[in-house]
């Protein structure tokens, strides 16, 4: 037995998009800091055939305040990362995760300063 996995259909795409360990670590680090600041209380992760998303909630029974989406099909166009606001509008889009998370991190700095 070798350590490689052979797909049943050669050339087939994976049937689900997910986050890599480093990507999820960066997102969960930001989530933990927002929880520590008392702003977020819950999150949800969705992995589908076209995109993976991480949604952060102030309270569990409402719409997410922010949603971070990874859509690999847009990798060569406007970038596979997008940050959506509470109303569903795209706040930031890019090729790398760090700059897309920047508006949320700036908000965290304001939350910490207000205390």
Show the domain range for 29.
Answer: 21-92+102-114
Q: Distance between CA atoms of 63 and 87, rounded to whole angstroms?
A: 8
Q: Output the pLDDT for position 43.
A: 92
The structural domain count of the chain equals 1
| Residue 79 belongs to a domain | yes
| Residue 14 belongs to a domain | no
Q: Distance between CA atoms of 28 and 95, rounded to whole angstroms?
A: 19
| Residue 44 belongs to a domain | yes
| Residue 78 belongs to a domain | yes
Global pTM reads 0.78
Residues 18-60: tens digit of each pLDDT: 888 999 999 999 999 989 888 888 999 999 889 999 999 987 7
């Amino acid at each position: 037995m070798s350590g490689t996995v052979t797909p049943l259909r050669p050339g087939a795409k994976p049937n689900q998009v997910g986050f890599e360990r480093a990507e999820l670590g960066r997102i969960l680090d930001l989530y933990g800091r927002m929880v520590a600041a008392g702003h977020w209380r819950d999150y949800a992760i969705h992995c589908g055939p076209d995109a993976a998303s991480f949604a952060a909630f102030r309270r569990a029974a409402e719409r997410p305040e922010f949603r971070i989406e990874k859509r690999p099909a847009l990798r060569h166009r406007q970038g596979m990362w997008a940050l959506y606001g509470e109303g569903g509008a795209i706040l930031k889009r890019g090729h790398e995760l760090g700059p897309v998370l920047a508006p949320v991190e700036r908000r965290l700095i304001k939350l910490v300063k207000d205390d």
